[in-house]
Amino acid sequence: MYSTRKLIKIVWPIVGLLMMAPPLMALPLTESEQAFVDELTSIRMCVDPDWLPYDGIDQQGRHIGIMSDFHRLWSKKIGIPVGLVVTHSWQQSLEFVQTARCDILSSAQDTPERQHYLTVTQPFIFYPFAIATQPGDQFVINLEQIKERKFVMVQGYAGVDMLRRAYPELQLLTVDSPREGLKLVETGQAYGYIDTVPTINYQMLRHGISHLKISGVLEQQYAMSVGIGRHIPELGKIYDKAIANTTELERQKILKNWLSVEFQSPINHTLFWQIIIAVLLLIGLLLYRFRVVHKHNQRLKHMNAELAHMSQNDQLTGIANRYLLHQRLHQEMNAKRVAHHSFSIMIMDVDNFKNINDEYGHDIGDKVIQEIATLLTAMIREQDLVGRWGGEEFLIICPQTSQHGTKQLAEQIRQQIQQHSFVVDTTMTVSIGVSEFLPGEDINDCIKRADEALYQAKNAGRNQTILAPLPAAN
Protein backbone atom coordinates (compact mmCIF):
# COMPACT_ATOMS: atom_id res chain seq x y z
CA MET A 1 0.00 0.00 0.00
CA TYR A 2 1.20 3.53 -0.84
CA SER A 3 1.42 6.04 2.01
CA THR A 4 -0.45 9.35 1.68
CA ARG A 5 2.84 11.17 1.15
CA LYS A 6 3.91 8.86 -1.70
CA LEU A 7 0.50 9.14 -3.39
CA ILE A 8 0.71 12.94 -3.31
CA LYS A 9 4.25 12.78 -4.73
CA ILE A 10 2.95 10.69 -7.65
CA VAL A 11 -0.29 12.57 -8.33
CA TRP A 12 1.03 16.17 -8.06
CA PRO A 13 3.29 16.06 -11.19
CA ILE A 14 0.48 14.36 -13.17
CA VAL A 15 -1.92 17.19 -12.26
CA GLY A 16 0.58 19.65 -13.67
CA LEU A 17 0.75 17.72 -16.97
CA LEU A 18 -3.04 17.56 -17.25
CA MET A 19 -3.20 21.34 -16.86
CA MET A 20 -0.93 21.64 -19.93
CA ALA A 21 1.62 23.68 -18.00
CA PRO A 22 4.93 24.35 -19.82
CA PRO A 23 7.91 22.32 -18.56
CA LEU A 24 9.56 23.84 -15.49
CA MET A 25 13.28 23.64 -14.76
CA ALA A 26 14.10 21.85 -11.52
CA LEU A 27 15.15 24.06 -8.64
CA PRO A 28 18.83 23.73 -7.64
CA LEU A 29 18.07 22.28 -4.18
CA THR A 30 20.77 20.90 -1.90
CA GLU A 31 20.52 17.31 -0.65
CA SER A 32 19.20 18.47 2.73
CA GLU A 33 16.66 20.79 1.09
CA GLN A 34 15.47 18.02 -1.23
CA ALA A 35 15.16 15.63 1.72
CA PHE A 36 13.08 18.22 3.55
CA VAL A 37 10.81 18.68 0.51
CA ASP A 38 10.41 14.91 0.17
CA GLU A 39 9.10 14.72 3.73
CA LEU A 40 6.44 17.40 3.20
CA THR A 41 2.93 16.49 2.08
CA SER A 42 1.70 20.08 1.75
CA ILE A 43 2.41 23.69 2.75
CA ARG A 44 -0.22 25.53 4.80
CA MET A 45 -0.71 29.11 3.62
CA CYS A 46 -2.59 32.08 5.12
CA VAL A 47 -3.47 35.14 3.03
CA ASP A 48 -5.08 38.54 3.34
CA PRO A 49 -8.75 37.73 2.55
CA ASP A 50 -9.50 41.25 1.28
CA TRP A 51 -6.52 42.89 -0.46
CA LEU A 52 -7.34 42.55 -4.13
CA PRO A 53 -5.83 42.65 -6.68
CA TYR A 54 -2.96 41.09 -4.66
CA ASP A 55 -4.76 38.71 -2.29
CA GLY A 56 -8.33 37.60 -1.64
CA ILE A 57 -10.61 34.69 -0.76
CA ASP A 58 -13.73 34.27 -2.90
CA GLN A 59 -17.17 33.03 -1.80
CA GLN A 60 -16.15 29.44 -2.53
CA GLY A 61 -13.19 29.73 -0.16
CA ARG A 62 -10.58 29.84 -2.94
CA HIS A 63 -7.41 31.96 -3.01
CA ILE A 64 -7.60 34.61 -5.75
CA GLY A 65 -5.48 37.57 -6.84
CA ILE A 66 -1.95 38.22 -8.08
CA MET A 67 -0.42 36.21 -5.24
CA SER A 68 -2.60 33.16 -5.99
CA ASP A 69 -1.05 32.90 -9.47
CA PHE A 70 2.48 33.34 -8.08
CA HIS A 71 1.94 30.63 -5.47
CA ARG A 72 0.48 28.18 -8.00
CA LEU A 73 3.61 28.74 -10.10
CA TRP A 74 5.99 28.33 -7.14
CA SER A 75 4.10 25.25 -5.93
CA LYS A 76 4.83 23.56 -9.26
CA LYS A 77 8.47 24.63 -9.17
CA ILE A 78 8.93 23.26 -5.63
CA GLY A 79 6.82 20.16 -6.30
CA ILE A 80 4.62 20.47 -3.18
CA PRO A 81 0.89 21.42 -3.09
CA VAL A 82 -0.03 24.54 -1.14
CA GLY A 83 -3.21 24.39 0.94
CA LEU A 84 -5.16 27.53 1.85
CA VAL A 85 -6.00 28.05 5.53
CA VAL A 86 -9.07 30.29 5.46
CA THR A 87 -9.04 33.31 7.78
CA HIS A 88 -11.42 36.24 8.16
CA SER A 89 -8.91 39.09 8.34
CA TRP A 90 -5.24 39.90 7.84
CA GLN A 91 -4.85 40.25 11.60
CA GLN A 92 -6.11 36.67 12.04
CA SER A 93 -3.67 35.44 9.38
CA LEU A 94 -0.81 37.01 11.37
CA GLU A 95 -2.08 35.29 14.53
CA PHE A 96 -2.28 31.92 12.72
CA VAL A 97 1.33 32.04 11.54
CA GLN A 98 2.46 33.04 15.05
CA THR A 99 0.77 29.95 16.50
CA ALA A 100 2.05 27.63 13.71
CA ARG A 101 -1.43 27.06 12.26
CA CYS A 102 0.02 28.39 8.99
CA ASP A 103 3.46 27.71 7.55
CA ILE A 104 3.65 30.73 5.25
CA LEU A 105 1.98 34.08 4.50
CA SER A 106 1.31 34.59 0.80
CA SER A 107 3.03 37.99 1.01
CA ALA A 108 4.59 39.88 3.90
CA GLN A 109 6.84 42.81 4.67
CA ASP A 110 9.88 42.49 6.93
CA THR A 111 9.30 44.61 10.05
CA PRO A 112 10.93 44.56 13.52
CA GLU A 113 7.54 43.86 15.12
CA ARG A 114 7.23 40.52 13.26
CA GLN A 115 10.78 39.20 13.45
CA HIS A 116 10.20 37.05 16.55
CA TYR A 117 7.75 34.82 14.63
CA LEU A 118 8.36 35.50 10.92
CA THR A 119 11.15 35.64 8.36
CA VAL A 120 10.74 36.76 4.76
CA THR A 121 12.16 35.79 1.38
CA GLN A 122 13.83 38.11 -1.07
CA PRO A 123 11.30 40.68 -2.44
CA PHE A 124 9.69 39.98 -5.81
CA ILE A 125 7.40 43.03 -6.28
CA PHE A 126 7.86 46.66 -5.21
CA TYR A 127 4.92 49.06 -4.97
CA PRO A 128 5.02 52.57 -3.44
CA PHE A 129 2.35 53.78 -1.03
CA ALA A 130 -0.32 56.05 -2.50
CA ILE A 131 -2.97 58.27 -0.87
CA ALA A 132 -6.65 58.38 -1.91
CA THR A 133 -8.48 61.60 -0.96
CA GLN A 134 -11.47 63.72 -1.92
CA PRO A 135 -11.19 65.26 -5.43
CA GLY A 136 -10.64 68.83 -4.24
CA ASP A 137 -7.78 68.05 -1.86
CA GLN A 138 -4.22 69.12 -2.60
CA PHE A 139 -1.56 66.98 -4.22
CA VAL A 140 0.56 65.28 -1.53
CA ILE A 141 4.32 65.10 -2.05
CA ASN A 142 5.30 64.40 1.56
CA LEU A 143 3.16 63.61 4.60
CA GLU A 144 5.03 66.28 6.53
CA GLN A 145 3.01 68.93 4.67
CA ILE A 146 -0.32 67.62 6.08
CA LYS A 147 0.69 65.47 9.05
CA GLU A 148 -1.98 67.11 11.21
CA ARG A 149 -4.65 65.42 9.03
CA LYS A 150 -6.22 62.05 9.85
CA PHE A 151 -5.26 59.03 7.71
CA VAL A 152 -6.44 55.42 7.65
CA MET A 153 -4.86 52.03 6.81
CA VAL A 154 -5.77 48.37 7.28
CA GLN A 155 -4.92 46.96 10.71
CA GLY A 156 -1.87 44.69 10.79
CA TYR A 157 -0.36 45.97 7.53
CA ALA A 158 3.39 46.54 7.73
CA GLY A 159 2.87 50.00 6.27
CA VAL A 160 1.20 51.10 9.53
CA ASP A 161 4.41 50.49 11.51
CA MET A 162 6.58 51.93 8.71
CA LEU A 163 4.66 55.23 8.59
CA ARG A 164 4.41 55.54 12.37
CA ARG A 165 8.19 55.21 12.63
CA ALA A 166 8.72 57.76 9.83
CA TYR A 167 6.06 60.20 11.12
CA PRO A 168 5.58 59.71 14.91
CA GLU A 169 3.03 62.55 15.11
CA LEU A 170 0.87 61.20 12.26
CA GLN A 171 -2.80 60.53 13.09
CA LEU A 172 -3.22 57.04 11.65
CA LEU A 173 -6.43 55.06 12.21
CA THR A 174 -6.66 51.32 11.46
CA VAL A 175 -9.62 49.42 10.03
CA ASP A 176 -10.38 45.81 9.08
CA SER A 177 -10.61 46.22 5.28
CA PRO A 178 -9.74 48.59 2.38
CA ARG A 179 -13.48 49.19 1.78
CA GLU A 180 -13.94 50.42 5.36
CA GLY A 181 -10.95 52.76 4.99
CA LEU A 182 -12.16 54.20 1.68
CA LYS A 183 -15.64 54.73 3.12
CA LEU A 184 -14.17 56.80 5.98
CA VAL A 185 -12.51 59.06 3.39
CA GLU A 186 -15.68 59.19 1.28
CA THR A 187 -17.76 60.32 4.29
CA GLY A 188 -15.15 62.87 5.44
CA GLN A 189 -14.21 61.01 8.65
CA ALA A 190 -10.61 60.69 7.44
CA TYR A 191 -8.53 62.81 5.07
CA GLY A 192 -6.84 59.99 3.14
CA TYR A 193 -6.63 56.21 2.76
CA ILE A 194 -3.10 54.84 2.29
CA ASP A 195 -2.36 51.68 0.26
CA THR A 196 -0.85 50.86 -3.14
CA VAL A 197 -2.17 52.30 -6.43
CA PRO A 198 -3.46 48.94 -7.81
CA THR A 199 -5.27 48.13 -4.54
CA ILE A 200 -6.90 51.56 -4.29
CA ASN A 201 -8.07 51.49 -7.93
CA TYR A 202 -9.38 47.92 -7.67
CA GLN A 203 -11.21 48.48 -4.39
CA MET A 204 -12.82 51.74 -5.58
CA LEU A 205 -14.13 50.01 -8.71
CA ARG A 206 -15.26 46.98 -6.76
CA HIS A 207 -17.26 48.96 -4.19
CA GLY A 208 -18.50 51.75 -6.45
CA ILE A 209 -16.42 54.48 -4.78
CA SER A 210 -15.65 56.30 -8.01
CA HIS A 211 -15.26 59.95 -6.99
CA LEU A 212 -12.14 59.67 -4.81
CA LYS A 213 -8.75 60.28 -6.42
CA ILE A 214 -5.13 59.29 -5.92
CA SER A 215 -3.54 62.56 -4.80
CA GLY A 216 -0.02 61.50 -3.91
CA VAL A 217 2.64 58.78 -4.07
CA LEU A 218 4.94 58.50 -1.03
CA GLU A 219 8.61 57.58 -0.69
CA GLN A 220 7.74 54.51 1.40
CA GLN A 221 6.92 51.33 -0.48
CA TYR A 222 5.95 47.69 -0.03
CA ALA A 223 8.77 45.26 -0.79
CA MET A 224 6.53 42.21 -1.18
CA SER A 225 8.06 38.91 -0.04
CA VAL A 226 6.76 35.51 1.08
CA GLY A 227 6.45 35.29 4.87
CA ILE A 228 7.97 32.12 6.42
CA GLY A 229 6.95 31.01 9.93
CA ARG A 230 9.92 30.58 12.26
CA HIS A 231 8.65 27.09 13.16
CA ILE A 232 9.57 25.94 9.61
CA PRO A 233 12.69 27.97 8.62
CA GLU A 234 13.80 25.44 5.99
CA LEU A 235 11.16 26.80 3.60
CA GLY A 236 12.89 30.19 3.39
CA LYS A 237 15.81 29.20 1.15
CA ILE A 238 13.55 26.93 -0.93
CA TYR A 239 11.13 29.78 -1.68
CA ASP A 240 14.07 32.11 -2.39
CA LYS A 241 15.18 29.69 -5.10
CA ALA A 242 11.65 29.43 -6.52
CA ILE A 243 11.42 33.24 -6.66
CA ALA A 244 14.86 33.50 -8.30
CA ASN A 245 13.77 30.82 -10.79
CA THR A 246 10.72 32.91 -11.82
CA THR A 247 11.33 34.46 -15.24
CA GLU A 248 10.43 38.04 -16.11
CA LEU A 249 7.97 36.69 -18.69
CA GLU A 250 6.18 34.67 -15.98
CA ARG A 251 6.15 37.67 -13.65
CA GLN A 252 4.77 40.12 -16.24
CA LYS A 253 2.13 37.62 -17.43
CA ILE A 254 0.74 37.30 -13.88
CA LEU A 255 0.79 41.06 -13.20
CA LYS A 256 -0.86 41.97 -16.51
CA ASN A 257 -3.50 39.27 -15.99
CA TRP A 258 -4.72 40.97 -12.81
CA LEU A 259 -3.84 44.65 -13.22
CA SER A 260 -5.77 44.87 -16.51
CA VAL A 261 -8.97 43.31 -15.09
CA GLU A 262 -12.03 45.55 -14.75
CA PHE A 263 -14.52 44.83 -11.97
CA GLN A 264 -18.02 44.00 -13.21
CA SER A 265 -21.15 44.43 -11.11
CA PRO A 266 -23.73 41.63 -10.89
CA ILE A 267 -26.49 41.73 -13.52
CA ASN A 268 -30.21 41.15 -13.01
CA HIS A 269 -30.52 38.52 -15.75
CA THR A 270 -34.33 38.40 -15.80
CA LEU A 271 -34.65 42.13 -16.33
CA PHE A 272 -31.71 42.03 -18.76
CA TRP A 273 -33.38 39.46 -21.06
CA GLN A 274 -36.75 41.22 -20.88
CA ILE A 275 -35.12 44.41 -22.11
CA ILE A 276 -33.17 42.54 -24.81
CA ILE A 277 -36.31 40.84 -26.18
CA ALA A 278 -38.20 44.15 -26.29
CA VAL A 279 -35.30 45.88 -28.04
CA LEU A 280 -34.95 43.04 -30.57
CA LEU A 281 -38.66 43.23 -31.45
CA LEU A 282 -38.38 46.96 -31.99
CA ILE A 283 -35.22 46.59 -34.06
CA GLY A 284 -36.87 43.85 -36.12
CA LEU A 285 -39.61 46.27 -37.19
CA LEU A 286 -37.18 49.00 -38.18
CA LEU A 287 -34.12 47.05 -39.34
CA TYR A 288 -35.03 46.51 -43.00
CA ARG A 289 -35.61 50.19 -43.63
CA PHE A 290 -32.67 51.62 -41.74
CA ARG A 291 -29.94 48.96 -41.73
CA VAL A 292 -27.99 50.35 -44.70
CA VAL A 293 -28.01 53.87 -43.26
CA HIS A 294 -27.13 52.53 -39.82
CA LYS A 295 -24.20 50.54 -41.17
CA HIS A 296 -22.73 53.56 -42.96
CA ASN A 297 -23.25 55.80 -39.94
CA GLN A 298 -21.56 53.31 -37.62
CA ARG A 299 -18.61 52.95 -39.98
CA LEU A 300 -18.27 56.73 -40.27
CA LYS A 301 -18.54 57.15 -36.48
CA HIS A 302 -15.87 54.50 -35.89
CA MET A 303 -13.52 56.07 -38.41
CA ASN A 304 -13.99 59.51 -36.86
CA ALA A 305 -13.30 58.15 -33.38
CA GLU A 306 -10.13 56.45 -34.61
CA LEU A 307 -8.97 59.60 -36.38
CA ALA A 308 -9.65 61.71 -33.28
CA HIS A 309 -7.70 59.27 -31.10
CA MET A 310 -4.80 59.06 -33.55
CA SER A 311 -4.61 62.84 -33.78
CA GLN A 312 -4.20 63.26 -30.01
CA ASN A 313 -2.57 60.06 -28.73
CA ASP A 314 0.80 58.44 -29.26
CA GLN A 315 0.43 55.25 -31.32
CA LEU A 316 2.98 53.20 -29.32
CA THR A 317 2.04 54.10 -25.74
CA GLY A 318 -1.54 55.40 -25.94
CA ILE A 319 -0.66 58.52 -23.90
CA ALA A 320 -0.94 62.09 -25.21
CA ASN A 321 1.10 63.00 -28.28
CA ARG A 322 2.92 66.26 -28.99
CA TYR A 323 -0.14 67.87 -30.59
CA LEU A 324 -2.34 67.30 -27.51
CA LEU A 325 0.47 68.44 -25.20
CA HIS A 326 0.76 71.73 -27.11
CA GLN A 327 -3.01 72.24 -26.87
CA ARG A 328 -2.96 71.69 -23.10
CA LEU A 329 0.09 73.94 -22.63
CA HIS A 330 -1.69 76.85 -24.32
CA GLN A 331 -4.82 76.19 -22.23
CA GLU A 332 -2.75 76.36 -19.03
CA MET A 333 -0.98 79.51 -20.26
CA ASN A 334 -4.33 81.25 -20.89
CA ALA A 335 -5.68 80.04 -17.51
CA LYS A 336 -2.67 81.57 -15.75
CA ARG A 337 -3.27 84.93 -17.41
CA VAL A 338 -6.92 84.92 -16.27
CA ALA A 339 -6.74 83.29 -12.81
CA HIS A 340 -3.01 83.75 -12.07
CA HIS A 341 -2.59 80.03 -11.32
CA SER A 342 0.99 78.82 -11.63
CA PHE A 343 1.85 75.67 -13.51
CA SER A 344 5.07 73.78 -14.23
CA ILE A 345 6.36 71.19 -16.65
CA MET A 346 9.00 68.49 -16.61
CA ILE A 347 10.78 66.99 -19.62
CA MET A 348 12.17 63.51 -19.09
CA ASP A 349 14.64 61.53 -21.21
CA VAL A 350 15.53 57.83 -20.83
CA ASP A 351 19.27 57.53 -20.18
CA ASN A 352 21.38 55.50 -22.65
CA PHE A 353 18.30 54.33 -24.53
CA LYS A 354 20.29 53.82 -27.73
CA ASN A 355 22.19 51.03 -25.96
CA ILE A 356 18.88 49.24 -25.28
CA ASN A 357 17.92 49.34 -28.97
CA ASP A 358 21.41 48.26 -30.05
CA GLU A 359 21.65 45.37 -27.58
CA TYR A 360 18.06 44.09 -27.43
CA GLY A 361 16.48 45.38 -30.64
CA HIS A 362 13.79 47.96 -31.32
CA ASP A 363 10.90 45.65 -30.30
CA ILE A 364 12.26 45.39 -26.76
CA GLY A 365 13.03 49.12 -26.80
CA ASP A 366 9.39 49.79 -27.62
CA LYS A 367 8.30 47.63 -24.67
CA VAL A 368 10.55 49.64 -22.34
CA ILE A 369 8.94 52.87 -23.60
CA GLN A 370 5.47 51.35 -23.02
CA GLU A 371 6.37 50.28 -19.47
CA ILE A 372 7.68 53.77 -18.62
CA ALA A 373 4.46 55.33 -19.99
CA THR A 374 2.42 52.98 -17.77
CA LEU A 375 4.46 53.93 -14.67
CA LEU A 376 4.10 57.66 -15.39
CA THR A 377 0.33 57.36 -15.91
CA ALA A 378 -0.03 55.60 -12.54
CA MET A 379 2.01 58.19 -10.62
CA ILE A 380 0.61 61.52 -11.84
CA ARG A 381 -2.45 63.31 -10.48
CA GLU A 382 -5.85 63.36 -12.15
CA GLN A 383 -5.37 66.92 -13.40
CA ASP A 384 -1.83 66.31 -14.73
CA LEU A 385 -1.15 65.28 -18.32
CA VAL A 386 1.68 63.01 -19.44
CA GLY A 387 2.63 62.64 -23.08
CA ARG A 388 5.35 61.38 -25.36
CA TRP A 389 7.43 64.35 -26.46
CA GLY A 390 9.42 62.35 -29.01
CA GLY A 391 11.51 59.17 -29.16
CA GLU A 392 12.43 58.34 -25.57
CA GLU A 393 11.39 61.77 -24.22
CA PHE A 394 8.25 62.42 -22.13
CA LEU A 395 6.65 65.71 -21.01
CA ILE A 396 4.40 66.08 -17.95
CA ILE A 397 2.23 69.16 -17.35
CA CYS A 398 1.48 69.90 -13.67
CA PRO A 399 -1.30 72.53 -13.30
CA GLN A 400 -1.44 74.75 -10.19
CA THR A 401 1.96 73.46 -9.06
CA SER A 402 5.17 75.39 -8.41
CA GLN A 403 8.52 74.28 -9.81
CA HIS A 404 9.59 73.00 -6.37
CA GLY A 405 6.50 70.79 -6.01
CA THR A 406 7.01 69.50 -9.54
CA LYS A 407 10.65 68.74 -8.80
CA GLN A 408 9.62 66.62 -5.80
CA LEU A 409 7.23 64.65 -8.02
CA ALA A 410 9.96 64.29 -10.65
CA GLU A 411 12.32 62.84 -8.04
CA GLN A 412 9.72 60.26 -6.99
CA ILE A 413 9.22 59.28 -10.63
CA ARG A 414 12.98 59.05 -11.21
CA GLN A 415 13.47 56.80 -8.17
CA GLN A 416 10.52 54.57 -9.06
CA ILE A 417 11.81 54.02 -12.61
CA GLN A 418 15.28 53.18 -11.24
CA GLN A 419 13.74 50.57 -8.90
CA HIS A 420 11.36 49.06 -11.47
CA SER A 421 12.11 45.67 -13.05
CA PHE A 422 11.88 46.15 -16.82
CA VAL A 423 11.87 43.54 -19.59
CA VAL A 424 15.61 44.13 -20.06
CA ASP A 425 18.22 42.81 -17.67
CA THR A 426 19.59 46.22 -16.75
CA THR A 427 18.69 49.12 -14.49
CA MET A 428 16.86 51.89 -16.33
CA THR A 429 17.28 55.53 -15.31
CA VAL A 430 15.97 58.90 -16.53
CA SER A 431 17.18 62.50 -16.49
CA ILE A 432 14.62 65.27 -15.89
CA GLY A 433 14.46 69.03 -16.40
CA VAL A 434 11.81 71.12 -14.59
CA SER A 435 10.61 74.66 -15.25
CA GLU A 436 7.74 76.87 -14.08
CA PHE A 437 5.79 79.07 -16.50
CA LEU A 438 6.46 82.74 -15.77
CA PRO A 439 4.12 85.75 -16.27
CA GLY A 440 4.53 87.29 -19.71
CA GLU A 441 6.61 84.35 -20.90
CA ASP A 442 5.99 82.54 -24.19
CA ILE A 443 5.21 78.85 -23.73
CA ASN A 444 8.12 77.89 -26.00
CA ASP A 445 10.52 79.74 -23.67
CA CYS A 446 9.24 77.68 -20.74
CA ILE A 447 9.79 74.47 -22.74
CA LYS A 448 13.25 75.66 -23.78
CA ARG A 449 14.27 76.27 -20.15
CA ALA A 450 13.08 72.79 -19.12
CA ASP A 451 14.95 71.31 -22.09
CA GLU A 452 18.16 73.13 -21.12
CA ALA A 453 17.80 71.86 -17.55
CA LEU A 454 17.40 68.33 -18.94
CA TYR A 455 20.67 68.63 -20.85
CA GLN A 456 22.37 69.92 -17.70
CA ALA A 457 21.18 66.75 -15.95
CA LYS A 458 22.57 64.66 -18.82
CA ASN A 459 25.92 66.43 -18.80
CA ALA A 460 26.15 66.17 -15.00
CA GLY A 461 26.11 62.38 -15.12
CA ARG A 462 22.46 61.46 -15.83
CA ASN A 463 19.88 59.92 -13.43
CA GLN A 464 19.05 63.24 -11.74
CA THR A 465 16.57 66.13 -11.77
CA ILE A 466 17.65 69.72 -12.52
CA LEU A 467 15.50 72.76 -11.84
CA ALA A 468 15.66 75.39 -14.59
CA PRO A 469 17.03 78.70 -13.28
CA LEU A 470 14.89 81.79 -13.63
CA PRO A 471 15.87 84.02 -16.57
CA ALA A 472 18.00 87.04 -15.78
CA ALA A 473 16.12 90.33 -15.47
CA ASN A 474 16.59 92.80 -18.35
Every domain of the chain and the residues it spans: 4-122+226-259, 125-224, 322-467
- Tell me the percentage of the chain whose pLDDT exceeds 70: 83
CA max distance for the chain: 96
pLDDT in tens, 53-110: 889 999 999 999 999 999 999 999 999 999 999 999 999 999 999 999 999 999 998 8
125-224 matches 322-467 in fold: no
Structure confidence at residue 2 as a pLDDT band (50, 70, 90): very low
Q: Is residue 18 a contact partner of residue 222, using CB atoms and an 8 Å limit? A: no
CATH 3.40.50.150 given to domain 125-224: no
The CA distances from residue 256 to 47, 58, 261, in Å, are 21, 20, 8
Catalytic residue chosen out of the listed positions 186, 332, 371, 392: 392
pLDDT in tens, 39-68: 999 999 999 998 888 899 999 999 999 999
Per the annotation, the verdict on 169 as an active-site residue is no
Superfamily of domain 4-122+226-259: Periplasmic binding protein-like II (3.40.190.10)
Q: For residue 81, say if its preceding peptide bond is cis, omega within 30 degrees of 0.
A: no
- pTM above threshold 0.75: no
3-state class (DSSP) for residue 318? coil
User: How far apart are alpha carbons 443 and 332 in whole angstroms?
Assistant: 10
| Best CA proximity match to 333, nearest among 348, 344, 324 | 344
- Tell me the percentage of the chain whose pLDDT exceeds 90: 51
Q: Where are the beta strands (DSSP E) in 300-409?
A: 343-350, 385-390, 393-399
Q: Is residue 226 a contact partner of residue 108, using CB atoms and an 8 Å limit? A: yes
pLDDT in tens, 115-140: 999 999 999 888 788 899 998 787 77
Q: In what order do the strands lie in the sheet with 465-467?
A: 385-390, 393-399, 343-350, 430-436, 465-467
pLDDT in tens, 201-244: 888 888 888 788 888 778 788 888 999 999 999 999 999 999 99
Q: For residues 378-405, give the mean pLDDT.
A: 92
- Which CATH topology does 322-467 take? Alpha-Beta Plaits (3.30.70)
The pLDDT score that the predictor gives to residue 299 is 64
Count Cβ atoms below 10 Å from residue 225 Cβ, excluding itself. 22
The pLDDT score that the predictor gives to residue 102 is 96
Q: Where are the beta strands (DSSP E) in 47-138?
A: 50-51, 55-57, 63-64, 82-84, 104-108, 118-120, 125-133
Least confident of 192-206, 252-266, 275-289: 252-266
The pLDDT score that the predictor gives to residue 294 is 60
Q: Is residue 130 a contact partner of residue 262, using CB atoms and an 8 Å limit? A: no
- Do β-strands 125-133 and 171-175 pair in parallel, antiparallel, or remain unpaired? unpaired
The CA distances from residue 207 to 104, 179, 216, 338, in Å, are 29, 7, 21, 39
* Chain length of the chain: 474
Half-sphere exposure of 22 (CA within 13 A, CB side): 5
| Best CA proximity match to 240, nearest among 64, 27, 424, 404 | 27
